[in-house]
Amino acid sequence: MRGDLVVMAVALLVWGLLFWYLVRLERRVADLEKR
Amino acid sequence: MSAALGDEGVTVEARALTHRYGHRAVFERLSFSFRGPGIVAVRGPNGSGKSTLLRLLAGLLRPSSGESALTAGGRTIPPRERHRWIGYAAPDLAFYPELTALENLSFAAEARGLSSPAKRGRERLRKVGLEGRENERADALSSGMAQRLRLAFALLDDPPLLLLDEPGSHLDDEGRRSLASWIGDEGSRRLVMIATNDEREGALAGQRVELGSRGVGDPA
Amino acid sequence: MPASGSSSGRAVWAILRKECRSEWRTRYGLNAALLFAVTSLASTSFAVGRMSDRTDVLAALLWVVLLFAALASLAHTFVRETEGHTMTLLRLVATPTSIALGKLLFNLLFLISIELVTVPLFLIFMGAPAPRWGPLLAILGLGSLALGAGATLVAAIIAQTRGRGALFAGVSFPVLLPILAAAVSGTRAQWSGAPVTAELRLLAAYAVALLAASLLLYDHLWEDA
Amino acid sequence: MIARGLLLLWIAGWIVAAFLWAPLVPVLGETTRVLYFHIPAAWVTVLALGWSMVHSLLYLKRRNLEHDHQAAAAAEIGLLFCVVATVSGALWAKAMWGAYWNWDPRETSIFFLLLIYAAYLALRSAIDQPERRARLAAVYSGIAFVSVPFLIFVVPRIYFSLHPDPLINPRGKVDMDPRIRVVFFALLVGFTMLFFWVQSLRVRVARVEHRRQGSVA
């Protein structure tokens, strides 16, 4: 297993998680603004 | 600046003056215009913004919206310079405790660039009945004497506009009587605005600004 | 009403004299600062011992002691005003610029009087080699000017915060860092015989930049005292 | 939502390119990968600081709390990116020179920005009334605005002369292979978009907080 592929996978995973967190956060902010 | 107003006199105006603390509007769209000389009472229940209005007019506070204008000697005075054209006395005006009454006044006079500050300070102390207390430290003064010192400070350079916030507080009977007569004759020479709920002081005024609990002012 | 030009100069002078008189009457600030400077100096020299050969460390230690003595005392002149609620009186008799300049001059005098005591003692305690007095005094002078300008401005801000002086060291540190670095480098150069012009120019530039920024910012310092 | 989807693919795509497509920088070897994230993070730190300072000065001029929300949000996000930049820089330094921290001029500058962010946010936390907090924080930004050039360009140089111990491999301008340069700038753009997105979220939260705080008070 080439080490840098593992690192790449981790980087992509971290980015995916961050992106998902931000999208969810945006939805919560949107309904906070409505209330 | 001569003791009296000079021919142009002085006008103080509020144009849709609004001030909020956080979201609570103390008063909204307050408008009035008074020409000196004369006495104006600023009346209203506690929390209706009497002190806030005086602080705004003194240039100590920036209004949330709207503006106040002061014209004296034929010139409109920008808020930045306003402190030189007004006399202000309020309960929260504190003096330097370690300095004496006279040192406080002569410092104030000197900082304002007035001539012979010490002599002027002595005169004002005598005027408010504090002669003999010149060398007493400010923190040693009783609350009544401290209030007299505030009035002396407000009169330091014969300002065209006098802003007095509850001038009678802490004064004894003699103090109140001399205050009433003193305001009477100052009122003939300059524009005096008094924030008060004290009937006697209110009665002195020829004109009024009524700050209702709703916060909307309507000059009487 | 008096013309604005001359009277703001007189206002600065009146405020400076008032500050000196108040300080002389209470003497609280000067004693605290001198005690602080001498104790930090003594503890440094006790811990480090004589270091006549390591002038690079000496330069750093000198300025750390001076910096902390300044941090311990320069906020006092504004904190005293807000705690005593005398800010309203001050704002009624002088423009924000005169107030700040008056206090800056006082802080400079204060800083110089601390240095008059601390620097000679430092040189003796630490067994420092004889300094080149010309460059050293120039570095001390410009360093103090920049230190005073930066510290006074930050002090005016933190005097209006909840913690009053508590925040002063942390909040002013990034602003004072360039002064510390240039002053240490200059003090080191004067000991090693190198020219100090580069550091002097830097300190002067920073002092001017700080004073220019201050003049623009003073009006926004006090608005709802 | 398309924009966000684009951003997701853009950054993901260039991460893959960074590992599979772009060659390694000769001297740096595998450690090149860190630079793809370290330098954009440092760039966003500086961008956020500039954004915060501009809005602080705008607040002083216009006294509109909207500018204060922008300035505070940019400072918070800037601090986050600054920590990322500092940590990734230290990791890279450990790999390259064997030490996490040796006050290399660039490290010193990033660290000083961290100090300014920390001081600004500490100051904000010590003031309650929104208007006063906005005003005093803006004045502090004004001072920091003057200090930053000295902290970034002057102090590291001076410090460098104070401790001139030779560096094993000074991180000078390396002539980058064109593919590296493309990946590098693409990620730079990606990070910048990310900053503006998170910034807008943080500002919207600040608006809600301000409104909510109003109705409570």
Question: What pLDDT is recorded for position C48?
Answer: 85
Q: Say if residue B213's pLDDT is above 80.
A: no
CA distance B64 to chain C (A): 11
Chain A residue with CA closest to D13: the answer is A12
B84 interface with C at CB cutoff 8 Å = yes
Mean per-residue pLDDT over chain C, rounded: 89
A20 interface with D at CB cutoff 8 Å = no
Q: Does C225 reside within a domain?
A: no
Interface of C with D (CB under 8 A): 56, 150, 153-154, 157-158, 160-163, 167, 170-175, 177-178, 181-182, 184-185, 188, 199, 202, 206, 209-210, 212-213, 216-217, 220-221, 223-224
Phi, psi of B199 (to 5 degrees): -55, -50
The one-letter amino acid at C62: L
A5 vs D19: CB contact, 8 Å cut-off? yes
Chains B and D touch (3+ CB pairs under 8 A): yes
How far are the Cα atoms of B173, C192, D67, D78 from residue D52, in angstroms, in the given order? 57, 42, 9, 9
How sure is the predictor about C166, in pLDDT bands with cuts at 50, 70 and 90?
confident
The one-letter amino acid at C31: N
3-class SS of residue D198: helix
A29 vs D201: CB contact, 8 Å cut-off? yes
- ipTM of this model? 0.88
The domain total for chain C is 1
Cβ-contact B89, B25 below 8 angstroms:
no
Question: What pLDDT is recorded for position B220?
Answer: 41
D213 vs B62: CB contact, 8 Å cut-off? no
Inter-axis angle of helices C133-158 and C96-125, nearest 10: 130
Low-confidence ranges of chain A (pLDDT < 50): none
Q: How far is it, in rounded angstroms, from Cα D123 to Cα D165?
A: 37
Q: Say if residue B65's pLDDT is above 90.
A: no
- Cross-chain CB nearest to B111 (options C11, C22, C223): C11
Q: Does C149 reside within a domain?
A: yes
Per the DSSP assignment, residues forming a β-bridge with B211 are: B217
Q: Does C168 reside within a domain?
A: yes
Q: Does C66 reside within a domain?
A: yes
Cβ-Cβ contacts under 8 Å, C154 against chain D: 140, 143
Q: Say if residue B207's pLDDT is above 60.
A: yes
B83 vs C84: CB contact, 8 Å cut-off? no
Q: Say if residue B218's pLDDT is above 50.
A: no
Least confident of A16-30, B22-36, B76-90, B134-148: B22-36
> Which residues, other chains included, contact C43 with Cβ-Cβ below 8 Å and sequence gap of 6+?
none
C178 vs D144: CB contact, 8 Å cut-off? no
> Which residues, other chains included, contact D57 with Cβ-Cβ below 8 Å and sequence gap of 6+?
D138, D141, D142, D145
Categorise residue B159: left if φ over 0, alpha if ψ from -120 to 50, beta otherwise: beta
Cβ-Cβ contacts under 8 Å, B23 against chain D: 214-215, 217
Question: What pLDDT is recorded for position C1?
Answer: 46
Q: What is the pLDDT of residues C54-89, one digit of tens each?
A: 888 999 999 999 999 898 889 888 999 988 899 999
Domain of residue C52, residue span: 5-220
> Which residues, other chains included, contact C178 with Cβ-Cβ below 8 Å and sequence gap of 6+?
C146, C202, C206, D147, D150, D151, D154, D155
Q: Does C48 reside within a domain?
A: yes
Q: What's the pTM?
A: 0.89
Cβ-Cβ contacts under 8 Å, C208 against chain D: none
Low-confidence ranges of chain D (pLDDT < 70): 159-176, 214-217
Q: What is the pLDDT of residues C148-161, one digit of tens each?
A: 999 999 999 999 99
In the predicted model, what is the mean pLDDT of residues B155-181?
88
